[in-house]
Structure 1
Amino acid sequence: MTTAIKIDHVSKEFTLNYHRTMKQMAVAVSKGNKVRDKFLALDDVTFEVQQGEAIGLMGLNGSGKSTLLKLVQGVMRPDRGTVRTRGRIAGLIATGAGFHQQLSGRENIFLNAAVFGMSEAETKRKLDSIIDFADIGKQIDTEVGFYSSGMNSRLGFAIAIHVDSDIFLADEVLAVGDKPFRQKCMAKIDEIRKEGRTLFYVSHSAGSVERVCDRVIVLEKGRLGFDGGVKEGIAYIHYDDEPGAPDEGALGADI
């Protein structure tokens, strides 16, 4: 099989600043207090994903899932180790990421599609389908700066799902929206699976992970805690026995 994603001993470190202004920092230093700390969002993570696999990426808040997806998407680079991907990547890891607030939704479709590598001709051909999927009505010609988070999510996902990609990333952004829209997103994710594309699906919903994934990876405080079968992964993180867990139609997660 062809390897679509290879994560090899990857670590990513961030700096946590305790103070916002120079004055606050100066006062803290004079008192002998820390002004910043470093922490590992990802710590020596290694795994491979084969083309066509559907991976459920799970873990508690702050476990490093969003950071990992950003490395896969290429918007960040690891401090140590290597990240290799094969083919075009599409998907969303932040609501409204890349949208120009002063441009309309229609104009942002062309802008974001170009970022994903779509030509203007391809975007024009898919424009009506993208607008129809987003289903935000006349607001498509309104500045994105006036959009709600749900409208941002609808438009962003509508663009990403129309990209002819080899790897699709689905993060907590899909949790924003009403039930009919979530169901529409899930139907599209089912299509991605049938097309043989690689799927990275982040969710706290055991039901939806069982439905669309054939493997689960669990991150724990930046480290790889589990990599294996779906039922075993869900049992490992105890999402299958928590009261009030999200229903099967729910998409997305935290990070």
Structure 2
Amino acid sequence: MGESVIEVDGVGIRFKRNRRARRSFKDLFAGARRRSRPGEFWALRDVSFRVQAGEAIGVIGRNGQGKSTLLKLVAEVVLPDEGRVGVHRGVAPLIEITGGFVDDLSVRENVYLTAGLHGMTKREVDARFGDIIDFAEIGDFLDTPYKHLSSGMRVRIAFSVIAQLEEPIILVDEVLAVGDKGFREKCYARIEELLAGGRTLFFVSHNERDLRRFCSRGLYLEGGRLVFDGPIDEALELYSSATAG
């Protein structure tokens, strides 16, 4: 392997949750009001690993164990409360991919807007516009307001835009689960094409088949901590054992 493109050192991130305090009858009678008392929990704690250029990493764990939070840290959507995250190449974030689209703009306008937000120039979008629309299979809806598209159509156009980015690191969560089977397979074939070209993959999923298909290495999170970092088959076996019964 080559250089490290993602470096995570002792990372922790905590969130607050409000716990409404119990109020006594005396409090209610007196009209007293108490403020919610904040409680904190660590979504991730003391997580460290390196990702080399060209690796395909699968992030595994039950719901609520910190997988999506870790992905957002690598995407630099959120910042850690402790430790350091270093991402030394650009990223193509296939996470919450429909989030940047504007409901009242047309599909055509959203393509230019979203591609521009990800660093593509108008000339680059002009050159790739046909490929984006052909891949999404959405040519009949170019001038339709985005808000009128189905959820599946929204994922199609969003993936098609992001897949045109030439960033060397691909971040993927399970956003494609909403798409139909045929289009999902088309997206996965595109991801395999990108990997064959030397891209680095950081993939969060519960789907064992997809993890085995794309990834050679697994990061297994439990309780916000990294409890295993090694071959994907071993990571999946540990996960299966932990969740059995």
Relative to the length of structure 2, the TM-score reads: 0.89
Alignment-derived partner of residue 133 in structure 2: 131
Alignment of 1:42-121 (within 5 A): 42-121=44-123
RMSD: 2.4
Structure 2: state its 5+ residue gaps. Answer: 21-26
Flag the 1:241–1:223 CA change in 2: closer, same or farther, 3 A: closer
Note if contact 1:71-1:83 (Cα within 8 Å) is conserved in structure 2: yes
Per the TM alignment, residue 95 of structure 1 is displaced from its structure 2 partner at its CA by 4.3
Aligned-residue offset at 1:137:
4.0
The answer to whether the 8 A contact 1:90-1:160 is kept is yes
Q: Aligned residue for 2:153?
A: 151
Cα distance between partner residues in 2 of 1:140 and 1:223: 45
Q: In structure 1, give the amino acid aligned to 2:134.
A: D
SS of residue paired to 2:211: helix
Alpha-carbon spacing, 1:33–1:235, altered in 2? closer, same or farther (3 Å): farther
Alignment of 1:5 onto 2:6: yes
Partner of 1:228: 230
Q: C-alpha separation between the residues in 2 aligned to 1:239 and 1:123?
A: 47
> Counterparts of 2:114 and 2:48 in 1: how far apart (Å)?
31
Overall identity of the aligned pairs, in %: 44
Kindly provide the amino acid, as one letter, of the partner of residue 180 in structure 2.
Answer: D
Determine the C-alpha separation between the residues in 1 that align with 2:64 and 2:238. Answer: 17
Gaps (5+ residues) in structure 1?
A: 20-25, 244-255
Answer whether contact 1:51 1:197 (CA < 8 A) is retained.
yes
Deviations 1:46-76 (A, max 9, x none): 1000000000111111111111111111111
Aligned pair count?
236
- In structure 2, which of residues 34, 39, 42 is the aligned counterpart of residue 40 of structure 1? 42
Task: Name 2:24's counterpart in structure 1.
Answer: none
Is the partner of 2:167 in helix, strand or coil? coil
Larger displacement relative to structure 2 (76-85 or 132-141): 132-141
Alpha-carbon distance between aligned partners in 2 of 1:120 and 1:39, rounded to the nearest angstrom: 44
8 Å CA contact 2:71, 2:204 repeated in 1: no
Distance 1:210 1:132, change over 3 A: same
Q: CA deviation at 1:33?
A: 8.1
Residue by residue over 1:193-226, the C-alpha shift from the partner in whole angstroms, topping out at 9 and shown as x without a partner, is: 1011100111111111111111011111211121
Matching residue's letter, 1:87 = R
Moved more, 144-153 or 120-129: 144-153
Alpha carbons 1:206, 1:239 under 8 Å: kept: no
Aligned-residue offset at 1:30:
4.7
Relative to 1, partners in 2 of residues 1:30 and 1:58: Cα closer, same or farther, differing over 3 Å? farther
Q: What TM-score comes out, normalization by structure 1 length?
A: 0.85
Question: Which residue identity is paired with 1:12?
Answer: I
